[in-house]
Structure 1
Amino acid sequence: MINFGIVGTGWITHSYVEAAHATGRWNLAAAYSRKAETAQEFASKYSDKKVATYTSLPDLAADSNISTVYIASPNIFHYDQAKLILNAGKNVILEKPSCSTLAELDDLFATAKAKGLYLIEAFRHIQEANFKLLKASLPLLGPLHGASITFAQYSSRYEKVLAGEVPGIFDLNMGGGALVDLGVYCVAAAIDLFGAPQASTYYPVMLPTGADGAGRLILTYPTFTVHLCHSKIYNSEAPSEVYGEKGTLIIPTITDVERVTFWDPRSKQKRVLEGVRKPEELNLKEEAAEHARIIEERDEAALKRLEQHSRDVLSVLEKARHNNGLLFPGGK
């Protein structure tokens, strides 16, 4: 059982904690928030656990009862908080996007390695069984012709932007924007499926806040291109697809993948591959289980693959932002 603490008290943290507990391999032991009442309210949701609460991050980091910390704070705080936790001798599960720059991420990985610790970026979808089924089914397509990956969900906070406000998710000072919030899922999926691209070009939809509200990102590979579409200012129900000489693989959504369908161009028929997801299944359980396995088994090979994946994803994000003037504080 891994005793862990959390930084960030939003819905994603509750989802991760619930999923982690469902694996039977994690135990929530500490919660941090800048406000005591917020930390206590979060801890109260897990009354069956003995959860210490903190309003000081160094105090959380010094808690000898925890070995790992899950960080899901606003993006702009990720680097500093992860660095503090690693320096305190604890593993870090860091929500996407990991950092603002590759230099920051490289520093965190170097710190973790120097201390014999693990830093893992929490990309839930690439750990899902059906996403892995999609990846394993790529040979069915023969030579690849391309792919389209979509994640577009209208955010209620866009209404605040229209009213002249600057909510955190659309605030560059908080590390916000559609690319780093939802587009990162598309980038992570593409790189897990096809590897790092040779080149990339981003076409953002800019908002009055200075951040991007939506965008289209083109990834170029030696023999094909991948089209990524993401948005927080409009909705899309378009599926994600991978195209090949021998057919098309289709998934309804890029996260919480319910099924993988193969379309045969010669028979003009669709076939659902094994692995239909049950709606009641916890959508972060698979990643929480894999994080625990890597830590418990000290799976250096898996860790190395995830580390390279995180670097490749951040490389695309950083280039896309900087080429379009989407700069975080300090020119990041």
Structure 2
Amino acid sequence: MKNGVKSVLLGSSLLAVLALSACGNSSDASTNSAKKDSVSKVSRKSASKKASEKSSLKKAKATEESATEKESEKKAEEQKNQEAAQKASAEAAQSASVTEAQAQPAQQVSQAAGATAPAAQTNNAGGQNTANNTQPAASSETLLNVPFISQGDTMLCEGTSLLMALHYKGVTGQGIYQFVNSMPRSSDNNPYNGYAGEWSHNVDGTYQGMMAAPVVQWANSVGGHATGISGLEAVKNSVRNGNPAVTWITYQYAAPEFKQMPWGRAVWNGHVVLVDGVKPGYIHVVDPVFGASWIGESTFANSFNTTGMAVSVG
């Protein structure tokens, strides 16, 4: 009986141990399965996130490339439009110049419009340079190509225009700030006697500059051969003979503005440039402010005929 009971008890104990072992194995298997499921889910989420990020980057890059392409197309279109506008503007300017030259009256080139320099001014020129006033052989175009000199921030448009001519003739190699030391000055602010006003800065209410006679005096005092001339034909003949001409015009070819002064009527918006070229319908000007350019002859004549005053530098 005792042995039977022992056998039963041992059997029960063995069954219990086996049950516990099976339970433990089942629990471990369940735990491992859960862990695997969890890792799998994390991996899937990570892969999904990476795929999403990659897709977003591709979309962003595509958007950026599209924007860059559109911007390039826009710039190309703007450049094309700008070039077309510039071409149209140039063609219009050329057409206007041709029209101006064709419309010019025949008598325009020979008239001085009664706006000549005073007789005393021409007589003060010293020796008359007749070669400057004779008609040379006909030529379609004459261009002396006088080198440009800037008047800078001075008031010396007369002096700078004269200096350009003297450089061209090989008379002097001075700069404007040296050349001005030999300039004749007016003691009574009369520009027919010498330079009136201050040459280095503007003075309100004062005519600043000089007329043709003191410019001739100045040129000849430094070794030049200058003479006073009058009228557009004389200017053109001077240039055709190889002699640039200092000419009195209005600033930027505007309508003249007059002011009465003790010495006479002043052109208040006057300016002085050097003429160094002529061709049918055009005058070539070297402006001490704006540089060299061809100007329509009628435009130049309307401005120049306000005084008709010039100096031929031989």
Q: Same fold (TM over 0.5)?
A: no
Q: Indicate the structure with greater helix content.
A: 2
Q: Indicate the structure with greater strand content.
A: 1
Question: How does the TM-score come out when normalised to structure 2?
Answer: 0.20
Higher RCO (CA-CA < 8 Å; seq separation 6+): 2
Question: How does the TM-score come out when normalised to structure 1?
Answer: 0.19
